[in-house]
Structure 1
Amino acid sequence: MNSALSKSEGFQGTLSNIQLIDLLQMTCLSRISMNIKVEGEGKEGLIQIFNGNIVHAESGQVKGEEAFFEIMSWKGGNFQTFSMTDVPTPTIEKNWEFLLIEATKMQDETSKSGRAYQTDDSLLKILIVDDSKLICKKMQEMIESDPQLKVIGTAQNGKEALKKISKLDPDLITLDINMPVMSGGTALKHIMIQSPCPVLIISSIEEKDMSKVMDFIRLGAVDFIPKPKPDDNVESQREKLISKIKLAAKANVHKFKRCKLSPQNKKEQAVDHPSLSSGDRSIIIVAGMGGFAECIKIIPNLNAYSCSIILALWHNDLFLGSFAEFLNGYTEINIVPVRKGGKQRLLKNCCYLCSLEREIILTKDNNTIELIPGEEDKGWESSLNTFVHSVCEIFTQASQLVWIFLSGEEKIPEKSLNTILSRKCHLVVQDPKTSLYPILPESCLKGRSGGVVVPSERIPEALTKLVSG
């Protein structure tokens, strides 16, 4: 074993996977340095934690991440802790949260205890987490008005929620952000490590603070919906809540991979971006449910490409401003939200966010291209068909357009896909096996060949090859 081990007072315990994960999580959260000797399945292993980071693991001749995941796959055994006398040589670069989330997924897949992809016909078990008992009661009444949904418990803070999750095994958790004892953010980290489950954020947070919601989505939450308000239409609130819950419950959260983002310090002086013309290249990204999480991985890793990027999301446009502000903190590209009632001239080296909950069209006047969102909600199929048609009418050369389709619960309309394929545009599709919601990418590929199929984290690389090729 590693010479850094010092045989001092420690504790010895029986190892079950979740107990070892709890120990690792507690040690990392406390930013402690510790050696953990693990014995299981006739083997010995070592995990070293330095200042709250898992920096080294070894099992026999195997070291690094491979050794860590091998140790975490052992079915049983025992472990013992030792103090650390020397600074260990790092063999693991990934952060501890990523490692524990991946280890939990691996254990779930091995034991075949992972959650099945839910259908609307299933009776969904819901756990409500909110510090207001009145809100819990109101939400329970709304949720249980649908015969397919069952509230199996409520909790007033994150700590209480974690105890109930292990006992009740919910299919979905509604989670408030600001709570006493343990906040929603801390609870979410524990949930995604210990008991991965679809989490729907329900909070009364103001729009100006929506960047907090984006952090929750980056940590693994599936979606967000505002808390019901007394002056809102009760029936409308109920329908939106039930619809969001049913969609969120379908998320394949075991496919979620948390990404690490590096803040960007943009230049303070204004940059004069040239206008986009119909002879230039444009990148169009379409995302449905789960799209926020995928875009958080992709957009910060894109280059400017000397073109324009349009990100069309199937989500309420009230959140576009906050999402743009969030992304602007992690990318050199200028992110611009485009909401109803306005229009935006397209410039190179900019990314435009718009909502497909209303029709969006591109228009051209004297070689100036503008993005114009409509006033009415036309529905997914109508909005996407109109958008695709208007884009392809302006960019007529196949090499000018790159279409990217990400996670989504909705199918791509045949009319839209036929238009894209008939124009022989470049097509990049997120691998359905890595999608929170695989229906949209699957519908792009069903019965067809062609296009680039890659996991979301490899889309920037694939895009660079297409654009520079």
Structure 2
Amino acid sequence: MAIKVLVVDDSSFFRRRVSEIINADPSLEVVDTAKNGREAIDMVARLKPDVVTMDIEMPIMDGITAVREIMAKNPTPVLMFSSLTHEGAKATLDALEAGALDFIPKKFEDIARDREEAVSLLQQRVKAIARRRVSARRSVSAPAPSTPVRPSAATRPAVKASPTTSAPQPKERATARFKPSGKRYKLVAIGTSTGGPVALQTILTQIPAGFSKPILLVQHMPATFTAAFAQRLNSLSRINVKQAEDGDELRPGWAYLAPGGKQMLVEGRGSYGRLRVIDGNDKVNYKPCVDITFASLAKSHQSNVLAMILTGMGADGRDGSRLLKEQGSTIWAQDEASCVVYGMPQAVASAGLASEQLPLDRFCEAIVAEIGNG
């Protein structure tokens, strides 16, 4: 049976273009189109599509509001179309937080070398999220910062002040639920793709202030998105989060997000290491690439890395995880049930590289328990 798709966009040209691409795959079928978010909500209730493709800016009701209502009333996988601008990045992140599972640029040429590749990519994304059944959306919450004005990343102290809202510290619960190995580490590294923005937000907003290790984040994301994403994570988290820059010296209690369109490498200089951010080879499929960052860690930090692969399409991270595993580092993977797309974690687990397969909501407590105070 074909996957049923509802296409939502205020442009008749774009609705037609997307519908033609989707219908070109015999396993996909566009069941109807909508011109705005209000129509989309009504059609989702009536037609029960397997996937909705959704524009952000539309008259009558925008895509973010529509996603929020769809997730509350008739939860359905949603693929957002986004502009590759800073404002588009913020709106797309809002849509993902509202419950959308993935996004794709409206200008296909921004992510594909030719029309054939663009067509294939859209079809693959629709099929990937169609396999994910979603439930009523619960927003990712996080404590508000203790002061209304935040200092810049350059001047902010290494450890943030504790938030004014009281929240249970993950460490207090972790020891009873997760048995740490006793191994010692220098840093934590996380790689992810589809579904990753919400997954990373879920984990990082629970990491306690004063966390004793640096955290490296590699998220498949366009260049115009990563700065906005890092800012969002920083505003919600107790630890400091920034977009990685060439020459950054890794510090405990900081998370470094690999810039879109670049490759992030780690050198072993300094107490915890130093970052190199480079353009990299244009033949590499992903910029940033988890394999490349993890491979550099295998060289610079050998056995001292706690690495994990979260939700995402494909197999990026498997080869880098293998190199880390060979050096004695620890690899974890997200379990299938909590993934938006069980591609990257499955590749790692199937290769026998993951010592733990955890649901998303257990990662923070497991990280804090495993790292301990050392």
TM (norm. structure 2) is 0.78
1:286 corresponds to which of 176, 191, 196: 191
**In the superposition, relative to structure 1, how do residues 180 and 352 fare at CA in structure 2: closer, same or farther (>3 Å)?**
same
In 1: Cα distance, 2:261 partner to 2:133 partner: 23
Partner residue, 2:279: 374
Partner residue, 2:54: 175
Secondary structure in 1 aligned to 2:236? coil
Partner residue, 1:392: 298
- Asked if residue 320 in structure 1 is aligned to residue 199 in structure 2, the reply is no
- Asked if residue 165 in structure 1 is aligned to residue 44 in structure 2, the reply is yes
In 1: Cα distance, 2:347 partner to 2:370 partner: 22
Matches within 5 A, 1:37-48: none
Secondary structure in 1 aligned to 2:258? strand
In 1: Cα distance, 2:223 partner to 2:129 partner: 19
Kept after mapping to 2: 8 A contact 1:255/1:435: no
Partner residue, 2:64: 185
Partner residue, 1:420: 324
Kept after mapping to 1: 8 A contact 2:5/2:30: yes
**In the superposition, relative to structure 1, how do residues 216 and 165 fare at CA in structure 2: closer, same or farther (>3 Å)?**
same
Matches within 5 A, 1:226-265: 226-228=105-107, 235=115, 237-254=118-135, 258-264=139-145, 265=147
Q: How far did residue 254 of structure 1 move?
A: 4.0
Secondary structure in 1 aligned to 2:365? helix
Kept after mapping to 1: 8 A contact 2:9/2:36: yes
1:296 corresponds to which of 201, 207, 212: 201
Code of the residue aligned with 1:387 in structure 2: it is T
Code of the residue aligned with 2:335 in structure 1: it is D
Q: How far did residue 322 of structure 1 move?
A: 1.4
In 2: Cα distance, 1:449 partner to 1:394 partner: 20
**In the superposition, relative to structure 1, how do residues 315 and 243 fare at CA in structure 2: closer, same or farther (>3 Å)?**
farther
**In the superposition, relative to structure 1, how do residues 354 and 252 fare at CA in structure 2: closer, same or farther (>3 Å)?**
farther
RMSD: 3.3
Q: How far did residue 320 of structure 1 move?
A: 0.6
Code of the residue aligned with 1:271 in structure 2: it is R
Partner residue, 2:156: 271
Rg larger for: 1
Partner residue, 2:370: 466
- Asked if residue 127 in structure 1 is aligned to residue 6 in structure 2, the reply is yes
In 2: Cα distance, 1:233 partner to 1:450 partner: 34
Of 281-290 and 173-182, more deviation after overlay is shown by 173-182
2:236 corresponds to which of 326, 330, 335: 330
2:103 corresponds to which of 213, 224, 249: 224
Q: How far did residue 283 of structure 1 move?
A: 0.8
Secondary structure in 1 aligned to 2:205? helix
In 2: Cα distance, 1:363 partner to 1:205 partner: 31
Q: How far did residue 163 of structure 1 move?
A: 2.0
Gap regions ≥5 residues in structure 1: 1-121
In 2: Cα distance, 1:297 partner to 1:197 partner: 20
In 1: Cα distance, 2:129 partner to 2:27 partner: 14
**In the superposition, relative to structure 1, how do residues 343 and 130 fare at CA in structure 2: closer, same or farther (>3 Å)?**
same
In 2: Cα distance, 1:468 partner to 1:177 partner: 42
Gap regions ≥5 residues in structure 2: 160-183
Code of the residue aligned with 1:291 in structure 2: it is G
Kept after mapping to 2: 8 A contact 1:358/1:378: no
Partner residue, 1:91: none
In 2: Cα distance, 1:419 partner to 1:255 partner: 39
Q: How far did residue 158 of structure 1 move?
A: 1.7
**In the superposition, relative to structure 1, how do residues 417 and 242 fare at CA in structure 2: closer, same or farther (>3 Å)?**
same
Matches within 5 A, 1:13-92: none
Q: How far did residue 407 of structure 1 move?
A: 1.2
Secondary structure in 2 aligned to 1:153? strand
Q: How far did residue 199 of structure 1 move?
A: 0.3
Kept after mapping to 2: 8 A contact 1:228/1:237: no
* Count of paired positions: 339
In 2: Cα distance, 1:218 partner to 1:128 partner: 20
Relative contact order (C-alpha < 8 Å, sep 6+): which is higher?
Answer: 2
Kept after mapping to 1: 8 A contact 2:223/2:259: yes
Kept after mapping to 1: 8 A contact 2:36/2:59: yes
Kept after mapping to 2: 8 A contact 1:203/1:225: yes
Kept after mapping to 1: 8 A contact 2:264/2:275: no
**In the superposition, relative to structure 1, how do residues 415 and 243 fare at CA in structure 2: closer, same or farther (>3 Å)?**
closer
In 2: Cα distance, 1:229 partner to 1:442 partner: 28
Secondary structure in 1 aligned to 2:212? coil
- Asked if residue 211 in structure 1 is aligned to residue 82 in structure 2, the reply is no
In 2: Cα distance, 1:352 partner to 1:425 partner: 20
Code of the residue aligned with 1:268 in structure 2: it is P
Of 244-253 and 147-156, more deviation after overlay is shown by 244-253
Kept after mapping to 1: 8 A contact 2:85/2:225: no
Code of the residue aligned with 2:250 in structure 1: it is L
In 2: Cα distance, 1:161 partner to 1:302 partner: 37
**In the superposition, relative to structure 1, how do residues 344 and 299 fare at CA in structure 2: closer, same or farther (>3 Å)?**
farther
Kept after mapping to 1: 8 A contact 2:37/2:63: yes
TM (norm. structure 1) is 0.64
Code of the residue aligned with 1:250 in structure 2: it is R
Of 261-270 and 370-379, more deviation after overlay is shown by 261-270
Code of the residue aligned with 1:130 in structure 2: it is D
Secondary structure in 1 aligned to 2:341? coil
Q: How far did residue 383 of structure 1 move?
A: 4.2
2:246 corresponds to which of 343, 351, 355: 343
